Amino acid sequence: MRPIPMLTGCALAALTLASAAQGRSGFPGQTDWSDDPPVLASLVAFADQESNLRTAVVRYLQDRAAIERRYPILYSPARAARLHAFHDAWRARLAETDFAALNPEGQVDYVTLRNRIDHDQAMLRLSETRAAQIAPLLPFFDRLRAFQEARFDRTRVNAREAAGVLDGVAGEVEGLSAALADGRKPSGVSAVAGRRAALQVEHLRTVLDDYNRFYDGYDPDYSWWVRKPYQRLDAALEAYAGALNLHLAGIRPGEQPPIIGDPVLAQGLAADLALEMIPYSVAELIRIGEREFAWIVRELKIVSNRMGHGDDWHAALEHVKTLAPAPGEVPWAIFDIADYSERFVEKDGSVTMPALSREVWRLAMQTPERQLINPFFSGGEVTRLSYPVDSMSHAHKLMSMRGNTPHFNFATVHHELIPGHHMQKFMNDRFNTHRTPLTNTPVWREGWALYWEMILWEKDFPRNDADRIGMLFWRLHRAARIVFSLNYQTGAWTPQQAVDYLVQQVGHERANAEAEVRRTTIDAPFYQAAYMIGGLQFHALRRELVDSGRMTERGFHDAVMQLGPMPVELIRARLLDQPLQPDYRSRWRFYSGPVN
């Protein structure tokens, strides 16, 4: 390890932050850093080591975002061509960089930026594949996108010609809707493609609305020629999106939509694994999930026997589901768990918890609409809790209560707050801030929070056996996420198979299982698997660094927070002071079996 630097620059800023935090008195659980200089030194150990590639990283991110705003039409060949040129230029520029002249943080950013460019290019190619799949459903796409793209090229419209094109496309779209209504469906078009096409039609409506607002009412010639054809086209596109949803995707107005999604298949998963620097195949990761699942079931049986249910851990789970507080009482149970968690971690001394981070978080209630996607917790400075709302049906109220008892929440409060997501965000906003938008890695973000579930289990964190069932249930769920999400993303499982798996094998309420799978179809492809995989990576790194005596536990945790989001393999290289090369690729086979 390199020596800890002197307290200069942003290290002094951290000292100021600590002093300001300790200036408040009387806040529960406050940590006074002034009494523990080694802790402060640990907190700022990496803060002074600014990456000398940071400016390039920020420029890449800002330039890419600017191009995406300038070429906003999804699936447009013009957008794709401009982004391909941008990525190629940056790849060449990065290759010309003197890697040896970069400091250690700069070399980490070099590898991460290279991986990000590769991933962005892979996602662009996936987008082009998806565009080709729905092109037969959108034969008018090129003619409509040309209007906004010409405007952004600062070319003035010929209003009479535009009116003719828009009116002609409106008639064409009306014919497509009529064909679907008559049962004349295109052959070989899946529900996934139909839904994707419907979303693209809605996207086109927003694009054309923006285009029309630029001219209509400001250019008399345009208003005279185009207003009526535009209104006809907008109505036709709205009807066509509805027809695609109804006749191809099976989405009916007024009914809860089926879970459809748009799996990325092998192409998309390969890109995500490369970005996360995980040298395992999808099949290997599924086997890891199954192995972890089996170990957790064994642990559940141990606790179930102690509770008097024998090996029937589902019976123990059912008992815990009955322990929900009355409506209106659940926030106070959460506050109690948060206080217990923070005090436990503080007494353990295994990570620095900034006093201000403990002061500023707030609790809010999840809306009924949001609970259709996330029926549990979502974390951050404002952490949102799911619980029944009086507008829900009786059955949904009961399922929400059964899925959100305090014993189930016991494992998720510290996951979402401290030392989990809220503290992560707090530190990300203060150290290496450029890395959050560069990597945006769920393995780092979710893996860290799940890692703490593992560590606290080993430290005998649960208050009782009901808490142990809750912790094990969520850990089982994260192992199951590897299995069902990767099977779904590869196309091996349908969404319904994933729902049935969560109900039958994990013990979820059906409504909660459906919400979980619906969320999987929306989140990044590797997101659900990232929890357990990231937790296992951090646990393996802990064994290598802390159990071996190379780092203190607190020093390890503080360093991870300050380094910021990046593939765990690069954290390992940084903390082990391993030399990197411009062509560095993933090689860390971290998994050796279930952790105890």
Say how many C-beta atoms besides its own lie within 10 A of residue 1's C-beta.
Answer: 12
Helix 421-428 × helix 406-416 angle, to 10°: 10
Omega cis (within 30) before 419: yes
What pLDDT is attached to residue 391? 76
Query: Which tokens belong to 492?
Result: 């091996």
How many domains does the chain contain in total? 4
* CA dist., res. 327 & res. 12, Å (int): 47
Q: Is residue 470 part of a domain?
A: yes
Q: Is residue 588 part of a domain?
A: no
Of 559, 516, 507, 515, which is closest to residue 538 (Cα–Cα)? Answer: 559
* Maximal CA-CA distance, the chain: 82
> What's the pTM value of the predicted model, to 2 decimals?
0.86
Q: Is residue 584 part of a domain?
A: no
Query: Are 232 and 361 in the same domain?
Result: no
Residue 554's contacts (CB-CB under 8 Å, 6 or more residues apart) are: 39, 42, 349, 350, 351, 352
Residue 589's contacts (CB-CB under 8 Å, 6 or more residues apart) are: 279, 280
Phi-psi region of 198 (alpha: psi -120 to 50; beta: other; left: phi over 0): alpha
- Using H for helix, E for strand and C for coil, what is the string for 523-537? CCCCHHHHHHHHHHH
Q: Is residue 484 part of a domain?
A: yes
DSSP designation for 35: G
Q: Is residue 431 part of a domain?
A: yes
* CA dist., res. 272 & res. 525, Å (int): 8
Phi-psi region of 68 (alpha: psi -120 to 50; beta: other; left: phi over 0): alpha
Query: Are 102 and 62 in the same domain?
Result: yes
Query: Are 398 and 518 in the same domain?
Result: yes
DSSP designation for 382: E
Query: Are 171 and 75 in the same domain?
Result: no
DSSP designation for 189: -
Query: Are 413 and 555 in the same domain?
Result: yes
What pLDDT is attached to residue 500? 96
Query: Are 447 and 517 in the same domain?
Result: yes
Torsion over CA: 239, 244, 250, 256 (sign): negative
Q: Is residue 2 part of a domain?
A: no
Query: Are 31 and 59 in the same domain?
Result: no
What pLDDT is attached to residue 272? 95
486-522 b/e (C-beta count within 10 Å ≥ 16 → b)? bbbbbeebbbeebbbbbbeebbbbebbbbbbbbbbbe
Rounded to the nearest 5 degrees, what angle is found at the Cα of 201, between the Cα atoms of 200 and 202? 90
Query: Are 271 and 213 in the same domain?
Result: no
The series of mean pLDDT values per 10 residues for the chain, 596 residues long, is 34 33 34 40 57 94 97 98 97 95 95 96 96 97 98 97 98 97 89 96 98 97 97 98 96 88 92 96 97 97 97 94 82 89 94 90 79 70 77 73 80 89 91 88 94 96 96 94 96 95 90 88 91 97 95 93 94 93 95 84
Q: Examine the fold and report which residue of 218, 248, 278 is the final residue of a domain before the chain moves on.
A: 248
What pLDDT is attached to residue 43? 46
Query: Are 173 and 122 in the same domain?
Result: no
What pLDDT is attached to residue 48? 60
Helix ranges (H only) for 307-329 are 313-321
What pLDDT is attached to residue 63? 97
Q: Is residue 44 part of a domain?
A: no
Query: Are 279 and 427 in the same domain?
Result: yes
Query: Are 70 and 84 in the same domain?
Result: yes
* CA dist., res. 363 & res. 330, Å (int): 11
Q: Is residue 596 part of a domain?
A: no
Query: Are 130 and 142 in the same domain?
Result: no
Q: Give the structural domain span for 565.
A: 267-575
* CA dist., res. 480 & res. 291, Å (int): 10
